Structure 1
Amino acid sequence: MSALGLDEAHERFLEDLLFEAEASAEPQAAAFFKLYGKLAAENGDCIDLTYTPARNEGRGAYQVDGFALDRERGDLYLAISDFRAGRDLETLNAAQIDRLFERVRRFCELAVQPSFINAVDETSPAFQAAWPIYDGRSQIKRIRVVAFSSARLSTRRTPEMTGKVLGVPFVCSVLDFARYASILSSKGGVEPIEIDVTAVNGSPLPCLPAHSIDGEHTSYLVAVPGTFLAEIYGLYGAKLLEQNVRTFLQARTKVNAGIVRTLEAAPEMFFAYNNGLTATAAGITTAQLPGGGLGIASVDNLQIVNGGQTTASILYASDSARKDRKADLSRVFVQMKLSVVNPDRLEEVVPLISRYANTQNKISEADFFSSHPIHLVLERISRDLSAPPKPGALSGSKWFYERARGQYRDKLAYGTQAERRKFELEFPREQFIDKTDLAKFEVTFECQPHIVSRGAQKCFLEFAEKTGKAWEASEAPFNEHWFRDVVAEAIIFRGLDRIVGRSDWYQDDRGYKAQIVTYTIAWLVHQLQRRGQEISLSVVWQRQELPAEVADALAQIAPQVAETIKDAPPAMKNVGEYCKQQACWATVAASKYAFDVRLDGLLIEHDEAKKARKSSVAAQKVEKDVDFDHVLVAMLSDTQPYLSFARSRRLLTPKSDAALKRLSRGDIRLPASERNALKYMVQKMVQAGFELPQAAKREPAA
């Protein structure tokens, strides 16, 4: 990215930051951490972090702004913020970075001291960040620190191990603004990792060319030393894993005990016993080996798409911090199939390789939900469906569902100023929903706030598990009625988020806002369900704002919920961890909170709401058949694009082929069997990314 491009990106980032701070009623520093933390988790720099802005200036200064502890694999993630509030993009030098990491190092050393733990308030951010270190010290095998900076690094800095802290490796990385902007511009892909194999391994890795397809991709077979895998995974962690595998490992954290036993007891047999790895890369450089043969000298954009658990277990088994027996990695080799894919097709091919490579493992279809066709359906609805005008507005706008990261931002980045302004009027910033938002709203209204409190990735996986099964049973419920309900949930959730953020009681004792919001809404929904009622989401959709009565009720309930969740049992000193437990929800759900607001006219009987949803499903089935008639008419003019795409994806059947031949002759009178076959083929094509011509799309209702 050019310097000019980076300056423009910084201006847009400041706009995003100010909007986030205003929308959430939080300080800019908190909004900064939220934006960086979310992107860092998506990119694999860390797992979902808990925001704990803890700092002390003067002698023995320390600072930690967020933490997450993966107890199973022994990774402690710590984040420190370097937020610059100025309008100009500043420069971050090596000395400043070293000082940031030193502040984190000091905090870790203090956190294990009883005198420090006993001296800080148990509700303070410092205690909440320190307690997992104090309580879980024996489980910590590696400390991974990431510095979030709104400045630009003067010299690029790759992850590095900077000695040990508390007797374990201390790995440091930097997410400066240049990296932040680069990851955002990757449009949902991963940030490329360039690995100098020769430097890490001491020599190129011997490889055997195995297969090649006309420049599209070339495959190699490699026997990878265990020491090499442990080294690169120790530095880069989950960033090496393809996104589906990374999500799987974050959600299901147990280290594979069988793999560890083999590494410890029979390291020389690991190559024979283990299934090995499947990996992809955008490119490699090769070198001739001294004894003859070919070796891999460097790899561009390495992603492990199958074998993430093997890789993580190798590092765990060899970790020098383990008190029990360690594996001798000098005797460990792992077979790897490496596919070098054309960079232009990485986004398309890598998820498919991941899906097929993992069919024999425990990764379920839910783990691949990020590319599920339901997102295409939501995207289409959101682009067509206009919301009712807000009070005082002359016309309605639309809610933008972002299927792939960067879609909304790109719309604002390109075109003339008038075009960008027109787009923002049609799709206002506050009317933006992405995949993790969708999961958070739906799981909250399903009364599972403890799942929401576990973080965006785990909440998304829970949502995917249920929604994927529902989609397989029937696609019809996922229609405009459902989308309107999701928007209403968003209005309620975000409305309460602002109310809590601006309340005096929260300003006096900040912390756990995300947990308070999801638990408060879930409690009210649960109480209404017990009476056979629901909040009328259709009323919220029509008003396009949080009704005052609902807002008042939630505002009264929220501080009572906050008091309950902060009163964690003595054994659960960390409130954030307590909120992730089913026991916390059971306590809140059984609590009796008072509110003196009547919700007349804003509630609907559950049976009536259920009947409305069933009617929308029936209407959707009829509507889809009408839609297909539009597709048939469009096909009459040119069947070739449909034929070519269907053949390339192996979707063409004898009956759909016969139907296309009839249409190419201008005959639209298809037998029922051919019509159904063609309809099914077109549905699968759309799910695979085929863009229907404009003439084939149903005109949105006036």
Structure 2
Amino acid sequence: MITLEEFHQDFLQSILSDADSRGLMKPQAFFENVCEELISTGDLTKNYENADYSKKGLEAHGFDYDEERKILSLLVHQFFQSDEIETLTKQHIETKFRRLESFYIKSVNGLHSKMEETSEAHNMAYQIYQWHEDDKIEKIKLIVFTDGKATRSLLEMPSKNLDGIKVEFRVIDINYLYQIYLSENTNGIFEVQTDLSYLLVNSDSDEYKSYLSCISGDELAKIYDDFGQKLFEQNVRTFLQFRGNVNKGLRNTIESAPTMFFAYNNGITATATSVEVENNRIKKIHNLQIVNGGQTTSAIYAAVKNLKQDVSRVSVQMKLSVVKDKEKQSDFVSKVSEYANTQNKINKSDFFSNNPFHKEFKSHSKRVFAPASDGAQLRTHWFYERVRGEYLNEQAYLTPAKKRQFQLEHPKSQVLDKTFLSKSENTWLQKPSIVSRGAQYSFKEFADTVTNILEKDNLAITEKYFKDAICHAILFKNVEKMVSKSSWYDGGFRSQTVTYSIAYLAYYIDQQKKFLDFNKIWNMQSLPHILILALEAITQNIYQAITNPPEGHANISQYCKKDFCWDLIKKMNIQISLEGLLINKEEEQYSKKRAKKEKRLDTGIEIQTFIIQLKLNEKLKLLEYYKKDNEISPMKIDILQKYCLGSLPLPSEKQSKILYELYSKAIEEGFCIRVD
């Protein structure tokens, strides 16, 4: 098990590496990393923005606004960047909260009118002012981020009222971040206090227990008010407001027939890592996840908050399954989400966490060596971190010598997580307005794109695809660093400048019906000089364009989220040279065909190996399963039967593929084949 001290060291190294490779100030890298962690846990929404502001008595580093719950979160950090874990004192905390509260008060009184309109801080102050004027703030959270450790008494600070608005104080310290890491690699980090009667469903399974219960509308609304998106981390859908017929039906039932809600509604399906029972009642639920029924929960909450309705007479049935094994819990959630009689259509991309893309991309990251660069002799890997904390977790039980070897072969600067990958990929696909909307929007778009690609071509994620994607990431990181160090850069809107600049480069090349030769970037693991010169010209022009928006678009952050902004950027005529860096369509197509041919060969060998290694009991279970299936062709059943009886001791590649398809189909249909 990784200790808190080990986690702190790894976390600090991540910040320093991120800052160096992307050209960020260390506190800014710290802020962004913590925000991404808090989005994953539901503590922040996908709408968070960074915006540094520091004057005498005032300080803020960013904000977040939860539109559904009308919660404004103001963010500030205390980054010690020390090798040892520092103690966050009472004076530290009180000073930070006092400055943050003063910034809020000044903002609602028009602070933005005294600020530079093109700054990110102006956007933050103006948004706060506008939300306050429109009466859209029902709760304020003042949050301090720190890489230090606060005592428990300082973490539990009482709330207060400010002009009739509830103000809560939170400290996110290194221990909280450590608990997030543990939750993603062991068990959950939060518990829901409740008092529910239940019926334990008899089950022979040792893997999970199921409880049937009923929860009142007001209690469900309170739980959502307390925990927000934490309850839906593994839910494949998002709430669709009251737009669809189903949601209108929910609203109408709550309004006119609340006592009939139980009869009309399917209720919610939830999972937990454990429950605490006392006197035949459920008192605590650890790591509660609502995997089906998110709309039901949000509809009841919206009825309370937006329509001011009494939902105490609303009763919601709840099916709660306790799945102790973390790995099995993920699979269980996926199956529940997929098989449940859902009320609105779920896109296939919503199951992206189980998409074969991750397995294939991870396989390439383990197998493909990056060329040695800068005179280094050691070849390294790019580490694909599908789950946060995976890089650290792989080192958990290594000896000190093996750990040093692992870190040399997988340097911190070459760790690539799926969120950053989605940004760099969407940027090269010329979707800068999507990237500017935030990491979660970008990731959803990336999931859609990859799902569509794999539906059309299951061989699409080749070694060439992997290398090109790494080159996109190298390009993105280098442009981030370039913008930060440029003499013309006044600060602010760096992320928007980066994504629009690279997207413009991709568009410029497309217009010439050419392709960038990514082999040159891959072999160097950096950018060729002529490409750097081209990007220096592009970034300066793009920065000037987006920070001087057309009339009626004074809010630069919002302007960059619009397709209209991208349409204007594409009309720019920036003079650049890419001599020696472009290849024609025929060369690109040849490279793709060759990569698919190589992958087809590798895949065929892997499938044969998998089929040969199946145990006899597993083969017989598979045959028994398909004997009852009239839709499977007799030819396929014949191959399976011969293989089970031993008359086909070594199936050919083609036969192995048929057997693998039968195996995969049975698994997808929920049949358990594997035996211990």
TM-score between the two structures when normalised by the length of structure 2: 0.88
Give 2:337's aligned residue: 354
- SS of the residue aligned with 1:222? strand
Partners of 1:425 and 1:646 lie apart in 2 by 44
- The residue type equivalent to 1:549 in the other structure is I
Who is 1:403 aligned against? 386
CA positional deviation for 1:184: 1.8
Q: Which moved more, 1:361-370 or 1:469-478?
A: 361-370
- 1:1-44 deviation digits (Å, cap 9, x = unpaired): 89xx2223222222222212212222211011011111111111
- How many equivalent residue pairs? 658
Instruction: Supply the distance in 2 between the matched residues of 1:182 and 1:503 (Cα, whole angstroms).
Output: 38
For 1:14, the equivalent position in structure 2 comes to 12
Verify: 1:51 aligned to 2:50, yes or no. yes
Q: Aligned partners of 2:667, 2:414: CA distance in 1, in Å?
A: 26
Q: d(CA) in 2 for partners of 1:117 and 1:41?
A: 27
Structure 2 SS opposite 1:65: strand
**Distance of 1:575 and 1:649 partners within structure 2:** 59
Q: Structure 1 CA distance, aligned partners of 2:536 and 2:187?
A: 40
User: Structure 1 residue 238: deviation in Å?
Assistant: 0.8
**Aligned pair partner of 1:174 in 155, 171, 195:** 171
Please say which of residues 235-244 and 141-150 is displaced more in the overlay: 141-150
Aligned to 1:274: 265
Aligned-residue sequence identity (percent) comes to: 33
Give the corresponding residue for 1:32.
Answer: 30
Q: 1:566 to 1:148 in 2, by over 3 A?
A: same
The CA RMSD measured in Å over matched residues stands at 3.3
* Alignment counterpart, residue 128 of structure 2, candidates 113, 129, 133: 133
Q: Deviations over 1:241-271 (max 9, x none)?
A: 23334xx438x67785553454344433333
- Cα 1:363–1:437 change in 2 (3 A) is same
- Residue type of the alignment partner of 1:88: E
Question: Is the alpha carbon distance of 1:433 and 1:647 closer, same or farther for their aligned partners in structure 2, counting shifts above 3 Å?
Answer: farther
Which residue of structure 2 aligns with residue 695 of structure 1? none
Task: Report the counterpart of residue 153 of structure 1 in structure 2.
Answer: 150
Cα deviation 1:191-213 (Å, max 9, x = unaligned): 4321222xxxxxx2222333434
Unpaired runs of at least 5, structure 2: 671-676
What is the match of residue 457 of structure 2? 474
State the 1:172 CA deviation. 4.1
Among 80, 94, 104, the alignment partner of 2:100 is: 104
Match of residue 121, structure 1, among 116, 119, 129: 116
CA distance in 1, matches of 2:331, 2:626: 16
Name the counterpart of 2:73.
77
- Once the two structures are superposed, residues 29-88 of structure 1 have per-residue CA deviations (whole angstroms, 9 ceiling, x without a partner) of 10110111111111111123211122333xxx3332222334455343332212223332
The one-letter amino acid paired with 2:530 is E
Q: Deviations over 1:291-332 (max 9, x none)?
A: xxx32222122111122232233233222xx5xx41112222
- The answer to whether the 8 Å contact 1:43/1:191 transfers is no
Letter in 2 for 1:614: K
Matched letter for residue 50 of structure 1:
E
Deviation digits for residues 603-658 of structure 1 (CA, Å, limit 9, x no counterpart): 112343234323432443344224434445x53xx735864997999999895796
Q: Report the Cα distance in structure 2 between the residues aligned to 1:563 and 1:342, rounded to whole angstroms.
A: 54
Greater Cα offset, 295-304 or 123-132:
123-132
The corresponding residue for 1:90 is: 86
Whole-angstrom CA distance in 2 between matches of 1:402 and 1:135: 39
CA distance in 2, matches of 1:52, 1:644: 62
Q: For 1:148 and 1:356, how far apart are their aligned partners in 2?
A: 40
Counterpart of 2:320 (choices 338, 343, 352) is 338
Please say if residues 366 and 468 of structure 1, whose CA atoms lie closer than 8 Å, have aligned partners that are also in contact.
yes
Matches within 5 A, 1:679-694: 679-681=660-662
**Retained in 2: the 8 A contact 1:267–1:327?**
no
Match for 2:119: what amino acid? S
In structure 2, distance between residues paired with 1:676 and 1:337? 39
Aligned counterparts of 1:392 and 1:174: Cα–Cα separation in 2? 44
Note the 1:573-612 alignment, pairs <5 A. 573-595=554-576, 598-612=577-591
Work out the CA distance in 2 between the residues paired with 1:412 and 1:107: 42
Q: Which residue of 1 aligns with 2:486?
A: 503
- In the TM superposition, residue 339 of structure 1 has moved relative to its aligned partner by 1.5
Aligned equivalent of 1:628: 607
Structure-to-structure mapping, 1:509-548, within 5 angstroms: 509-548=490-529
Q: How many angstroms does 1:342 deviate by?
A: 2.6
Tell me the residue number matched to 2:190.
Answer: 193
- Asked if the contact 1:656–1:677 (Cα under 8 Å) also holds between the matched residues in 2, the reply is no
Query: What is the CA-CA distance between 1:489 and the residue it aligns to?
Result: 1.1
Q: State the alpha-carbon separation in 2 of the partners of residues 193 and 165 from structure 1.
A: 28
Change (3 A) 1:674 1:419: same
Taking the aligned partners of 1:169 and 1:366, their CA distance within structure 2 comes to 38
Q: Could you tell me which residue of structure 2 aligns to residue 306 of structure 1?
A: 292
User: In structure 2, do the counterparts of structure 1 residues 573 and 628 end up closer, same or farther at CA, with 3 Å as the change threshold?
Assistant: same
Q: What displacement does 1:504 show? A: 2.1
Equivalent-residue separation in structure 2 for 1:454 and 1:279 (angstroms): 30
Closer, same or farther: CA 13–671 of 1 in aligned 2, 3 Å: closer
**1:505-553 deviation per Cα after TM superposition (whole angstroms, max 9, x unaligned):** 22xx211211111110100110111111121112222222211111111
Partner amino acid for 2:106? L
Distance 2:454 2:505 in 1: 28
Structure 2 distance, partners of 1:29, 1:338, is: 42
Q: Summarize the Cα distance change of 1:670–1:498 in structure 2 as closer, same or farther, 3 Å threshold.
A: same
Q: CA deviation at 1:460?
A: 0.8
Task: Report the CA distance between 1:234 and its aligned residue.
Answer: 1.3
* Cα distance between partner residues in 1 of 2:581 and 2:669: 40
Separation in structure 1 between the aligned mates of residue 50 and residue 568 of structure 2, nearest angstrom: 24
Is the Cα contact below 8 Å between 2:488 and 2:540 reproduced in 1?
yes
Distance 2:19 2:285 in 1: 40
The equivalent residue for 2:674 is none
AA partner of residue 450 (structure 1): S
Q: Deviations over 1:343-386 (max 9, x none)?
A: 45434323332333374433322122022111011111111112
More moved, 66-75 vs 496-505: 66-75
The residue number in structure 2 matching 1:224 is 215
Q: Distance in 2 between matches of 1:585 and 1:42?
A: 29
Distance 2:348 2:54 in 1: 42
Q: 1:249 aligns with which of 214, 238, 243?
A: 238
Q: Deviations over 1:427-486 (max 9, x none)?
A: 222222221122112111110011111111111111111211221222111111111111
Against the structure 1 CA distance between its residues 264 and 99, is the aligned structure 2 distance closer, same or farther, given a 3 Å change threshold?
Answer: farther
Written as runs of structure 1 = structure 2, the 5 A alignment for 1:445-484 is 445-484=428-467
How many Å separate the matches in 1 of 2:66 and 2:341?
23
Letter of the structure 2 residue corresponding to residue 232 of structure 1: I
Aligned to 2:140: 143
Contact 1:656 1:674 in 2 (8 A): no
Q: d(CA) in 1 for partners of 2:131 and 2:625?
A: 50
The residue that corresponds to 1:66 in the other structure is: 62
Task: Say if 1:233 and 1:315, in contact at 8 Å, map to a contact too.
Answer: yes
Unmatched tracts of structure 1, length 5 or more: 198-203, 289-293, 690-702
Q: Which whole-Å CA distance do the structure 2 matches of 1:649 and 1:433 have between them? A: 41
